[in-house]
Amino acid sequence: MPEDKIDHINFTKLNENAISPPLVDHIYTADPSAHYFGDKIYIYPSHDIDAGDAFDDLGSHFAMEDYHVLSMDSINSKAFDNGLALHVRDVPWAEKQMWAPDANEKDGKYYLFFPAKDYDGIFRIGVAVSDSPVGPFKPQPNPIKGSFSIDPAVFRDEDNAYFMYFGGLWGGQLQRWNNGEFNAKFPESPTAFIPEDDAPALLPYVAKMRDDLLEFDETPRPIKILDESGNMLLAGDNQRRFFEAAWLHKHNGKYYFSYSTGDTHFICYAIGDNPYGPFFYAGRILNPVVGWTTHHSICKIENKTYLFYHDSSLSKGITHLRCIKVAEIKYRDDGTIVTLDPYKDFHF
């Protein structure tokens, strides 16, 4: 959201009209990845810390150096901060910028998947393991081989196959990997190497995980997101094309790939018959929130489905300090999702 619009928002009125309050307010949190392990809700957010640097589109103003895991006994209970789960100083290969993570469980072990910049300034994706869903997590000494960019999300299918979805434009560096190698030219430009508006949009990636969940079991492949006619979404279609925040969930036998459109601030989704896609664009899950970014996860809890998301209402418009929230989402009979407005009867 542009700074000039934020300056004119009545945050008292906005918060009164919000469909959800912040889940925690003692720290700034963002990018919530929620899971229902056993009979308890666990949320894996990023941790916003102001770096004191000038605001930019590369994320330089984020000093995101650790992760805290939140837990809830039920969707209506208070969220509890379980303390430090992993710090960048404990990750041998990582220098800084521990952005949006995810987690999953297998055979009683819990795996935290996270992006960070290595000492060459390149985003990679790492794995850390714990006997507890809240950590502490012990990181692997090296990132996943062949990993790049940001926003890992790991989906477990009904046959117990695990797939990682990832990628993010601009500061997330996805556009720098078009030729299979990192392009370090013009590092100060977040939009260098973005396709022209009439060219196909850049795509997120998916890879099946190895049985131990520590490495890819295959070379990551791009995920096709198609329009209603079966054509690739174009780079200039920035109200529908993928930008970041990949997530996959399943509903009535269909695979729902959801994501953020980034600079236009929508959470959108596309539906397919296969975890690899292709996915056909189906609409919006969440309209824009106040703040610089939008990011989400979707979690089924008992017999309902919930959207976990963030905005910047807690920091009253300091756009890079965010707070996580939750709201129920509902499906129509045809499987499409009813779009949520984050603030009832409130217009920016």
Give percent of the chain above pLDDT 70: 93
What pLDDT does residue 142 have? 98
User: Mean pLDDT throughout 3-31?
Assistant: 86
Domain for residue 336, yes or no? no
Domain for residue 337, yes or no? no
Residue 260 sits at the vertex; the CA angle it makes with 166 and 123, to the nearest 5 degrees, is 35
Tally of residues, the chain:
348
Hey, what are 165's tokens?
Answer: 């979805």
Domain for residue 153, yes or no? yes
pLDDT band, very low/low/confident/very high, at 83 (cuts 50, 70, 90)? very high
What pLDDT does residue 133 have? 98
pLDDT tens profile 85-103 = 999 999 999 999 999 999 9
Q: Is the pLDDT of residue 257 over 80?
A: yes
Q: Look up 95 and say whether it is catalytic.
A: no
Place of tokens 């996959």: 248
d(CA 115, CA 94) in angstroms, rounded, equals 9
Domain for residue 348, yes or no? no
Strand bridging mode 244-251 / 254-260: antiparallel
Hey, what are 134's tokens?
Answer: 């809240």
Place of tokens 């030219």: 185
Cβ-Cβ contacts under 8 Å for 9 (sequence gap 6 or more): 290, 317, 348
Q: Look up 244 and say whether it is catalytic.
A: yes
Which DSSP state fits 78?
A: P
Q: Yes or no: say if 58 and 75 are a contact pair by the CB < 8 Å rule.
A: no
Q: Yes or no: say if 136 and 82 are a contact pair by the CB < 8 Å rule.
A: no
Domain for residue 344, yes or no? no
Domain for residue 335, yes or no? no
Nearest to 245 by CA among 153, 337, 161: 153
Q: Yes or no: say if 189 and 222 are a contact pair by the CB < 8 Å rule.
A: no
Q: Yes or no: say if 63 and 73 are a contact pair by the CB < 8 Å rule.
A: no
User: Mean pLDDT throughout 260-277?
Assistant: 97
pLDDT band, very low/low/confident/very high, at 319 (cuts 50, 70, 90)? low
Which DSSP state fits 177?
A: G
From the candidates 48, 102, 151, 244, which is the catalytic residue? Answer: 244
Query: Residue 50: which domain range?
Result: 3-329
Give the chain's domain count.
1
| Tally of CB atoms within 10 A around 195 | 15
Q: Is the pLDDT of residue 347 over 90?
A: no
Q: Output the average pLDDT for the chain.
A: 94
DSSP 133-154: TT-PPEEPSSPPTT--SS--EE
CA-based torsion, 301, 133, 155, 114: positive or negative = positive
What pLDDT does residue 10 have? 86
Cβ-Cβ contacts under 8 Å for 309 (sequence gap 6 or more): 32, 267, 286, 289, 294, 295, 296, 324, 325, 326, 327, 342
Compute and round to an integer the Cα radius of gyration of the chain.
19
d(CA 47, CA 240) in angstroms, rounded, equals 28
Domain for residue 345, yes or no? no
Q: Is the pLDDT of residue 155 over 90?
A: yes
pLDDT tens profile 176-234 = 998 889 999 999 899 999 999 999 999 999 999 999 999 999 999 999 999 999 999 99
From the candidates 31, 102, 151, 311, which is the catalytic residue? Answer: 31
- CATH label of the domain that carries residue 193: 2.115.10.20
Q: Is the pLDDT of residue 4 over 60?
A: no
Domain for residue 201, yes or no? yes
What pLDDT does residue 143 have? 98
